Each structure stands twice: as structure tokens, then as C-alpha cells.
Amino acid sequence: DSGVTQTPKHLITATGQRVTLRCSPRSGDLSVYWYQQSLDQGLQFLIQYYNGEERAKGNILERFSAQQFPDLHSELNLSSLELGDSALYFCASSVGWTALSYGYTFGSGTRLTVV
């Protein structure tokens, strides 16, 4: 157990639908990062939050949004889902707001399948 909790572990939904992925960071970590992992693209950075505020944005689609709540858990919302959104979605957390020295602690991921 890495200390980062992601739910659900698996999700199957239809095209056009909307889903919410949830992440609880490791105790004491203030930063949450969301990554998408697919076979052809590898791990792609989506977005980072630090202590409730958005800190960095990657190649996140406009159909996707995220937020971090006062208790530091984070949610990633994916809407108008397409077949190509099928992937593993990882949440990671870290103590500070940069990755230097400490690295990330990853959760086990949510496998999203869009049918």
C-alpha cells in the first residue's frame, strides 16, 4: 500500500458519458498530480494541484477537469467520453510542489474502459 488511494479501480462506461475519478493523497502530501497512461502514449501529465490550487497543466483536454478539496483529496472529471479516453489514470502525490528529491508516490490507478 503506497498510501495514495484511488477509486474506483475499474470503470466501464459508454461513449458520451461522464465519470469522476477520486484520489486521496498520502498523509502529509500537499501536491496531487494526475497522469494518463496508454499503451501508445506512455505516462502523460494532465494536471497538478498544490494545497487546493492548480499549479501546472499538461495536455489535459477541455472535456477533462479536476479539483482539489480542502481535505486535499482530488477528483478528476472526464466528460463526453470517447473510445480514445480508455486508459489507466494515475494519481500521484508529493510533499512539496516540485518533484525534486522526493519523487512521487503513485496510487494503483483507475482503469477506464469506454465502450
Binding site for other proteins (CB under 8 A): 2, 4, 33, 35, 42-45, 48, 55-56, 58, 90, 92, 97-109
Give the C-alpha separation, 39 to 74, whole Å: 25
Shortest reach from residue 29's CB to other proteins, in Å: 13
Shortest reach from residue 91's CB to other proteins, in Å: 8
Q: Which is nearer to other proteins, 92 or 112 (CB)?
A: 92
Cell numbers 459508454 correspond to 14
Q: Which is nearer to other proteins, 59 or 77 (CB)?
A: 59
Q: Could you give phi then psi for residue 103, rounded to 5 degrees?
A: 75, 180
Shortest reach from residue 16's CB to other proteins, in Å: 28
Q: Which is nearer to other proteins, 1 or 14 (CB)?
A: 1
Q: Which is nearer to other proteins, 37 or 79 (CB)?
A: 37
Residues 76 and 6: beta-carbon distance below 8 Å: no
Shortest reach from residue 90's CB to other proteins, in Å: 5
Q: Could you give phi then psi for residue 59, rounded to 5 degrees?
A: -85, 55
Give the C-alpha separation, 27 to 48, whole Å: 17
Residues 93 and 29: beta-carbon distance below 8 Å: yes
